[in-house]
Structure 1
Amino acid sequence: MTNWNEQTYIAGMTWGWTGIRGTWTTKEADRSMALMKERLAINWTAVTFAALQATPQSTTIPFAEAPTVTEEEVRHAIAEAKRNGLNVCLKPVVNCVDGTWRAHINFFDYDVPCEPKWSDWFASYTSFILHYARVAEETGCEMLCIGCEMVQTDRREAEWRQLIREVRNVYSGIVTYNCDKYQEDRVQWWDAVDVISSSGYYPVGDWEVQLDRVEKVVQRFNKPFFFMEAGCPSRRGSELLPNDWGFQGETDGTAQLEFYEAMFGSSDQRPWVQGFMLWDWPSTLYPEEQAASNNDYCMFGKPAEAYIRNYYSSKLAQPNYSSSN
């Protein structure tokens, strides 16, 4: 396993979301992984998938059930990433079947008889994360992300610290947690992970303010930092609301490009920002000739693609950064 150091730079892209069973071991998926490396000049990928609990108040996460990808599919994706020369962050995530965003998974602070409990949920979540922590160890994943944008859980400091201790018993690589946007200064247990990471969905024009705020967190905990997620749909107006995947703007690749220009431009002035795991690159790509009519986060065949490739290539060429760990 590898260790993080000041020469580490994450020129990364998220792959495979949401991890639908049957889509990760196809020729299309292998082609997608190879094109991601070729088109974006990345050195890292986050192999990312979701297990599903029924509602935000459910306490059971049946992570081995469809439609979630199987463990065999996860291992295949990791092997493909490695075959393409990529460092891998394994990122198991939980979502809700009823469509509620996982940030709203929540229970009473104090146990009440006959009501769902934090202890039951964390027991199930820990089983899920430990299962894939072992997979990450066995397959040589350089990093493990133990949670993503779990805003209402963030206050459960004792449970998260216990989970991290258990993870470290089975996994020897880098451990991070992906907090949600605007939550970097609210998590109180950053000292327990190796690297602080967050979702960088900040509007054009607001990056300097948000980076000023995040910088104080990095200084307080004296930990490395990168954006585990960051991206923008190719829709006019999305550069001002990059986290709103349902925003109904006119399809426009230049809006996506403007977001990346703002984000990279501001972050370049902050040496403590040690990279990005951009959002996102699907396991099955749309035909490249349809890129101009695609309005999702993926930048395949869009104006932002070449910009990202050039940016990552220039960063990894700098003598103070290494192309891998």
Structure 2
Amino acid sequence: MTWGWTGVRGTWATPQAEQSLRELAAVGGVTWVTIAFAALQETAHSTRIPFTEPPTVTDDELRWAIRRARELGLRVCLKPTVNCADGTWRAFIAFFDQDVPGEPSWTEWFASYREFILHYARIAQQEDCELLCIGCEMVQADRQERHWRELIADVRRVYDGLVTYNCDKYQEDRLTWWDAVDVITSSGYYPSGTWTEHLDRIEGVVERWGKPFFFMEAGCPSREGSAARPNDWTLAGAASPAEQERYYREMFEACTGRPWMQGFMLWDWPPRLYAIDEAAHNDDYCVYAKPAQDVVGEHYRALARRSTDHRTAQARE
């Protein structure tokens, strides 16, 4: 499960955030949490990422969240992410392929991004986070293979846990540097009725690179029409917990027969939950107190049983 987004300063390390983490840990079968937060650069063509400034959560808030999650028995993936303050999606962050004097460049941007990621890699190391996600849905930046490889090498000098990158939906077979990370992850916002074709495609990626795979993001708003466009959080429609529940059942059923599928960091679980009596009218991604929460618990418990059975069988061999 993914917790904390977008990591606004002052919204963590509060009684509401404490209760939110407790409710998340109580969902049956949940063993991991991705703690996700964003720093803001001004535009898609800015080269400075002021991650120590508001609205990004402070290091103290971040350490609080990691420690509380671990006290609740959860393993932790740390996911620092960059967003654009003007609302442009981070997938459109881009510069000229070749550095041009006097123009913003990939070299300048990656220098700032490196400082950003290494700062949190050091915290991940100090707080014993099991997994670090070094980027999310950076579709235009994905092509900058040299920069990513250099960044990953730098990360490994300060962090000895597992490293992953969260590519966007439809991009799993387009990255050329999966060998540099430990785990392949992506955002699995695939429309209802299309799971088989996309899982077949992803299976080829897993076989080619020989790496573990899970969905770093996946889910669907509880909103009419969202099953056809689960990635679109702006889609207009009435609240529909039933549509969300159906989507989750279809997703889990499609993935169950894929032994290479390691799990889901479902999107998402906010630091301040809505009241239980508001769940039927909430149309966002969170499954708290909605029918989809029971579906998630059923699947996660079944996944845990299969994992236990597999380990037992291996021990007997």
TM-score bracket, normalised by the shorter chain, equals over 0.9
Would the aligned equivalents of 1:45 and 1:81 in 2 still touch at CA under 8 Å?
yes
Which position in structure 1 is the counterpart of 2:310?
Answer: 320
Is 1:120 aligned with 2:80?
no
Q: Distance in 2 between matches of 1:297 and 1:52?
A: 22
How much is the aligned-residue C-alpha RMSD, in angstroms?
Answer: 0.9
Would the aligned equivalents of 1:315 and 1:321 in 2 still touch at CA under 8 Å?
no
TM-score for the superposition, normalised by structure 1: 0.94
Q: Distance in 2 between matches of 1:40 and 1:230?
A: 18
Q: 1:287 aligns with which of 275, 281, 300?
A: 275
Quote the offset at 1:41 in angstroms.
3.0
- What is the aligned residue count? 310
Which position in structure 1 is the counterpart of 2:204?
Answer: 216
Q: Distance in 2 between matches of 1:256 and 1:273?
A: 21
Would the aligned equivalents of 2:221 and 2:284 in 1 still touch at CA under 8 Å?
yes
Q: 2:143 aligns with which of 146, 155, 159?
A: 155
Q: Distance in 1 between matches of 2:29 and 2:252?
A: 16
Quote the offset at 1:39 in angstroms.
2.5
Q: Distance in 1 between matches of 2:305 and 2:92?
A: 41
Q: 2:237 aligns with which of 249, 260, 283?
A: 249
Which position in structure 2 is the counterpart of 1:233?
Answer: 221
Which position in structure 1 is the counterpart of 2:24?
Answer: 36
The gaps in structure 1 that reach 5 residues or longer are 1-12
Q: 1:75 aligns with which of 37, 59, 63?
A: 63
Q: Name the structure, 1 or 2, with higher relative contact order (CA <8 Å, separation 6+).
A: 1
* Secondary structure class of the residue paired with 2:184: strand
Following TM superposition, where does structure 1 have runs of at least 4 consecutive aligned residues deviating by more than 2 angstroms?
A: none
- What amino acid sits opposite 2:55 in the alignment? P
- Alpha-carbon deviations, 1:235-286, whole Å to 9, x = none? 0110110000000011100111111111111110111011000000000000
Q: Percent identity?
A: 58
* Secondary structure class of the residue paired with 1:166: helix
- What amino acid sits opposite 1:316 in the alignment? A
Counterparts of 1:22-171 in structure 2, within 5 Å, are 22-171=10-159
Q: Distance in 1 between matches of 2:311 and 2:95?
A: 43
Q: Distance in 2 between matches of 1:45 and 1:32?
A: 12
Quote the offset at 1:78 in angstroms.
0.1
- What amino acid sits opposite 2:203 in the alignment? E
Greater CA drift, 50-59 or 261-270: 261-270
Q: 1:269 aligns with which of 257, 272, 295?
A: 257
Would the aligned equivalents of 2:29 and 2:304 in 1 still touch at CA under 8 Å?
no
Q: Distance in 2 between matches of 1:275 and 1:39?
A: 15
